[in-house]
Amino acid sequence: MRWCPKCGSEFLNKREKCSDCDVMLTEEESAEESDPEMEFVETEFLVTASSEIEANMLTSFLESNGIKTMRKYREAGGYLTVYMGDTSYGIDIYADKNRLEEAKELIDFASLNGNSSEKEKSAGGKKLSLSWKVFIIIFISMGLLGSLFTR
């Protein structure tokens, strides 16, 4: 078999030039198959994303700011993502160790880590979840209905 040194395509022995690149073919496959942009980066834990969507948003945001990231699925999360499209175990996001503080500041700035408004901060961060609000409304309405029918 013959190989194109430029694009790496494989051709039958009959051909002399690559049909795509118009370069002379060689007898051996090019040794230049490694990704030239790939480099080793030491990472450190940054944050845990609750879903695949949040992990994609975080890593895209950080990488658009030049910070290399890596994700690690918890428990069987990687398999769940393949099988079901998402994971319920969370995804740990790791960032370049040399730029970890900058990554933390970017996440805090973008409010991806806390999503708390100024009203919540001034109220001491106490916010009732929707399920508790529904429970309180049902409890009060049952008390009112009970008091109407006991008279």
Q: Are 54 and 107 contained in the same domain?
A: yes
Asked whether residue 125 is assigned to any structural domain, the reply reads no
Instruction: Please tell me whether residues 61 and 107 are part of one structural domain.
Output: yes
Q: Considering the domain boundaries, does residue 106 fall inside one?
A: yes
15 and 55 share one domain: no
Do 12 and 48 share a domain, yes or no? Answer: no
Domain that holds residue 85: 43-113
Q: Helices then strands (H, E): number in the chain?
A: 5, 5
- Give domain status of residue 103, yes or no: yes
Is there a single domain that holds both residue 84 and residue 25? no
Neighbour-count burial for 56-75, b at 16+ CB within 10 Å, e otherwise: eebbebbeeeebbbebebee
* Phi and psi torsions of 102, nearest 5°: -65, -40
Shared domain for 19 and 74, answered yes or no, is no
Q: In what order do the strands lie in the sheet with 69-73?
A: 43-49, 91-96, 69-73
Separation between Cα atoms, residue 29 and residue 49, nearest integer Å: 42
User: What are the CA-CA distances from residue 21 to residues 8, 34, 48, 97 (Å)?
Assistant: 10, 20, 45, 41
Domain total for the chain? Answer: 2
Tokens 């409304």 identify what position?
A: 137
**DSSP per residue, 68-128:** -EEEEE-TTHHHHHHHHSS-SS-EEEEEEGGGHHHHHHHHHHTTTTT---HHHHHTTT---
- One domain for residues 47 and 108: yes
List the chain pLDDT tens, one digit each, 151 residues: 777 877 777 777 777 788 778 888 787 655 555 455 667 888 899 888 888 888 888 888 888 888 989 888 887 776 667 666 777 778 889 999 999 888 888 887 765 445 444 444 444 444 556 667 777 777 787 777 777 777 6
Q: What is the pTM of this model?
A: 0.49
Same domain? 50 vs 106: yes
Q: Does some domain include residue 131? A: no
* Domain presence at residue 60: yes
The first and second tokens of residue 87, run together, are 């994971």
